[in-house]
């Protein structure tokens, strides 16, 4: 008996460790996927063109343009910087850390030069905002699942 | 009944900024603690084209019975004409070059603890109440402009003291990311008998300011330099020149920590009657730690040498070590 109890204990521990490893791997995969997955630019069909250059896109997301050529006001929609898409957006769109991005926008608003973007917790909320607001443009990491949204191609590509 | 669409259309945000500091004055051999300004900042989107910005500062004021006073620093009603062209009405920070148009009162954003001498010596007209025609990020060079007409110096926030209007014209380009090059011009006529900065000026002063700036805030290096040439002309003293410049350089050791220096110099021509002549050189060496986007800690050594009474007066020296915590909330 004295010999079997530790064996059962060892087996049990092994199972727990296995599950933990799988869980951590899944978590890491989700994070890595979120941070490196292709980004899709979506917009409300009113105002935003269906295609544009990457330089033009960056200028819009930096708050350098107030209106589309149609005259509609540009409204930038971003995922919060603590989400995996938000982190991905900071690095790939802005080449900034999360704190740098938040300070960049705070400074711009404080100078009276731009209106702050709308930040969202979920892709669903962001899509709803874009579909409901003419001139809105946002970044997600999947094809849109809400009607009233168009995908904006950047330099001829559907994703960034 | 309140129309719910009107509530949705008006998006109002309130932010605040404050700083606290401690400093050691070597000449006076004492350590002090002090409060900075508490800055209340409000923005509101009123409609598709109208927006509002307000900045109110609560600060120490020895002349007040409560030892604190409230001042309206900015009230700006902005109307977007089209594209990136706007008309701004109200009390503004005069868009003269970089610092005055960028940092305002939020110490959180300052690269150093305090403003350069160019601003703290009251050479630059910090505020103007009037109308500004503004454009930004136009074309491939991201050209920007401001053309402002205001009440001018010696006026208060509600009425002009004379018929003269101040004129500010400023242009800038942003030819590369994080780089901004600008130039500006300011003209005002201060009427005889006007009170400016607490002093009565018996003669009319015709003031011209010419200034230029280069700002680069990159991932590793930071550079900000501005210079202003000011001429004040009166019938009795003729034209007197004042030159004030500063250069700031920063090196980011990592994402959080930046080492920096700033060198300020200002020189007043003999016989200057409008400014308080105070030839000065100031050197700062410091470090800035960005704890997060709403908290910054700065530690600075400052050496200042000046002659507050003009060229013939004895020189004054100041050695300060200052630590400041600035936050946004």
The reported pLDDT for the residue numbered B5 is 44
Report the alpha-carbon distance of residue A139 to residue A126 in Å, rounded. Answer: 8
Q: Is the dihedral of CA B186, B192, B194, B199 positive or negative?
A: positive
CB contact under 8 A, B142 and A102: no
The reported pLDDT for the residue numbered B7 is 44
CB contact under 8 A, A97 and B83: no
Q: Could you tell me which CATH number the domain at B26-328 has?
A: 2.40.160.10
Distances (CA, A) of A11 to A2, A20, B22, B73, B191: 15, 14, 61, 70, 93
The sheet with strand A75-79 has its strands ordered as A118-120, A75-79, A136-140, A40-43, A150-151
What distance in Å separates residue B199's CA from the closest CA in chain A? 31
Closest by alpha carbon to B284, among B228, B237, B224, B235?
Answer: B224
Q: How many other C-beta atoms can be found within 10 angstroms of the C-beta atom of residue B176?
A: 12
* Cβ partners under 8 Å of residue B270, min gap 6: B240, B277, B310, B311
What distance in Å separates residue A138's CA from the closest CA in chain B? 19
Place of tokens 């006026």: B155
Where along chain B do its domains lie?
Answer: 26-328
Residues on chain B touching A64 (C-beta within 8 angstroms): 84, 136-137, 142
CB contact under 8 A, B328 and A64: no
Exposed, middle or buried by CB within 10 Å (0-12, 13-18, 19+), for B82?
A: exposed
Instruction: Name the residue with higher pLDDT: B152 or A79.
Output: A79
What distance in Å separates residue A70's CA from the closest CA in chain B? 10
- pLDDT of A160 > 90? The answer is no
CB contact under 8 A, B293 and A116: no
CB contact under 8 A, B43 and A109: yes
Q: Is B125 within 8 Å of B96 (Cβ atoms)?
A: yes
Q: Does A55 touch chain B (CB under 8 A)?
A: no
Q: Does A71 touch chain B (CB under 8 A)?
A: yes
Place of tokens 């006073």: B69
Q: Does A106 touch chain B (CB under 8 A)?
A: yes
Q: Is A92 within 8 Å of A132 (Cβ atoms)?
A: no
| pTM for this predicted structure | 0.87
Structure tokens at B308: 């507050």
Report the alpha-carbon distance of residue B180 to residue B185 in Å, rounded. Answer: 17
Place of tokens 């900045």: B55
Q: Tell me the backbone φ, ψ of residue A24, rounded to 5 degrees.
A: -65, -40
* N-terminal to C-terminal alpha carbon distance within chain B: 33
What distance in Å separates residue A91's CA from the closest CA in chain B? 13
The reported pLDDT for the residue numbered B9 is 56
- pLDDT of A20 > 50? The answer is yes
Comparing CB atoms, the residue among A97, A109, A115 nearest residue B255 is A97
Q: Is B14 helix (H, G, I), strand (E, B) or coil?
A: strand
Closest by alpha carbon to B298, among B285, B311, B313?
Answer: B285
Q: Does A112 touch chain B (CB under 8 A)?
A: yes
Q: Which pairs with CB-CB distance under 8 Å and at least 24 residues apart come from B161-170?
A: B161/B191, B161/B194, B162/B189, B162/B191, B162/B194, B164/B188, B164/B189, B164/B191, B165/B130, B166/B125, B166/B128, B166/B130, B168/B94, B168/B95, B168/B96, B168/B128, B168/B132, B169/B145, B170/B95, B170/B96, B170/B97, B170/B101, B170/B145, B170/B146
The pLDDT tens digits along chain B (329 residues) read 444 444 445 789 999 999 999 999 988 899 999 999 899 999 999 999 999 999 999 998 888 888 889 999 999 999 999 999 999 999 999 999 899 999 988 899 999 999 999 998 889 999 999 999 999 999 999 999 999 999 988 888 888 888 889 999 999 999 999 999 999 999 999 988 888 877 888 889 999 999 999 999 999 999 999 999 999 999 888 999 999 999 999 999 999 999 999 999 999 998 888 888 899 999 999 999 999 999 999 999 999 999 887 777 889 999 999 999 999 99
Report the alpha-carbon distance of residue B287 to residue B323 in Å, rounded. Answer: 10
For testing the chain A interface, which of B293, B294, B295, B327 should be mutated: the one with the most A CBs within 10 Å? B293
Closest by alpha carbon to B153, among B95, B202, B207, B114?
Answer: B207
Chain B residue closest to A94 (CA)? B177
Chain A residue closest to B16 (CA)? A110
CB contact under 8 A, B15 and A106: yes
The reported pLDDT for the residue numbered A30 is 52
Report the alpha-carbon distance of residue A122 to residue A120 in Å, rounded. Answer: 6
Give the H or E element holding residue B6.
helix B4-9
ipTM: 0.89
Report the alpha-carbon distance of residue B245 to residue B237 in Å, rounded. Answer: 24
Report the alpha-carbon distance of residue A33 to residue A40 in Å, rounded. Answer: 14
What distance in Å separates residue A75's CA from the closest CA in chain B? 11
Report the alpha-carbon distance of residue B12 to residue A110 in Å, rounded. Answer: 13
The reported pLDDT for the residue numbered A29 is 54
B interface with A, Cβ–Cβ below 8 Å: 13, 15, 41, 43, 45, 48-49, 51, 53, 74, 76, 78, 80, 82-84, 86, 88, 101-102, 104, 106, 109, 136-137, 142, 255, 290, 292-293, 328
Chain A residue closest to B40 (CA)? A110
Report the alpha-carbon distance of residue B151 to residue B165 in Å, rounded. Answer: 5
């Amino acid at each position: 008996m004295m010999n079997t109890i530790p064996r059962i204990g060892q087996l049990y521990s092994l199972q727990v460790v296995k599950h933990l490893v799988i869980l951590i791997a899944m978590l890491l995969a989700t994070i890595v996927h979120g941070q490196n997955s292709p980004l899709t630019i979506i917009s409300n069909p009113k105002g935003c063109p269906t295609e544009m250059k990457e330089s033009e896109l960056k200028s819009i997301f930096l708050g350098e343009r107030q209106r589309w050529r149609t005259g509609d006001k540009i409204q930038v929609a971003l995922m919060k910087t603590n989400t995996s898409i938000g982190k991905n957006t900071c690095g790939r769109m802005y080449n900034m850390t999360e704190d740098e991005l938040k300070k960049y926008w705070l400074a711009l608003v404080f100078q009276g030069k731009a209106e702050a973007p709308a930040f969202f917790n979920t892709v669903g909320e962001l899509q709803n905002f874009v579909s409901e607001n003419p001139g809105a443009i946002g970044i997600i990491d999947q094809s849109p699942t809400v009607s009233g949204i168009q995908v904006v191609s950047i330099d001829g590509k559907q994703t960034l | 009944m309140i129309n719910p669409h009107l509530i949705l259309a008006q998006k109002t945000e309130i932010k605040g900024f404050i700083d606290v500091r401690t400093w050691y004055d070597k000449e006076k051999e004492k350590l002090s603690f002090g409060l900075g300004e508490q800055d209340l900042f409000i923005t509101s989107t009123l409609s598709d084209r109208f927006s509002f910005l307000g900045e109110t500062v609560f600060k120490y004021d020895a002349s007040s019975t409560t030892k604190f006073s409230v001042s309206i620093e900015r009230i700006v009603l902005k109307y977007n004409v089209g594209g990136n062209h706007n008309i701004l009405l109200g009390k503004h920070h005069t868009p003269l070059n970089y610092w005055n148009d960028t940092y305002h009162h939020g110490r959180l954003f300052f690269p150093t603890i305090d403003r350069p001498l160019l601003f703290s010596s009251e050479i630059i007209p910090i505020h103007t109440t009037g109308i500004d025609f503004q454009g930004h990020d136009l074309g491939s060079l991201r050209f920007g402009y401001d053309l402002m007409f205001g009440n001018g110096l010696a006026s208060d926030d509600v009425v002009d003291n004379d018929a003269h209007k101040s004129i500010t014209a400023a242009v800038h380009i942003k030819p590369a990311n994080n780089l901004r090059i600008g130039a500006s011009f300011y003209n005002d006529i201060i009427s005889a008998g006007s009170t400016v900065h607490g002093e009565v000026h018996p003669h009319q002063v015709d003031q011209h300011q010419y200034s230029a700036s280069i700002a680069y805030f990159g991932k590793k290096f930071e550079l900000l330099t501005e210079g202003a040439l000011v001429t004040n002309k009166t019938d009795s003293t003729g034209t007197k020149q004042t030159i004030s410049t500063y250069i700031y350089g920063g090196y980011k050791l990592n994402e959080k920590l930046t080492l920096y220096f700033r060198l300020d110099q200002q020189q007043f021509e003999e016989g200057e009657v409008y400014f308080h002549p105070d030839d000065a050189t100031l050197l700062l060496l410091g470090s800035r730690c960005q704890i997060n986007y709403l908290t910054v800690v700065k530690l600075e050594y400052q050496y200042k040498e000046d002659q507050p009474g003009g060229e013939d007066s004895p020189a004054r020296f100041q050695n300060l070590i200052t630590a400041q915590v600035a936050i946004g909330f």
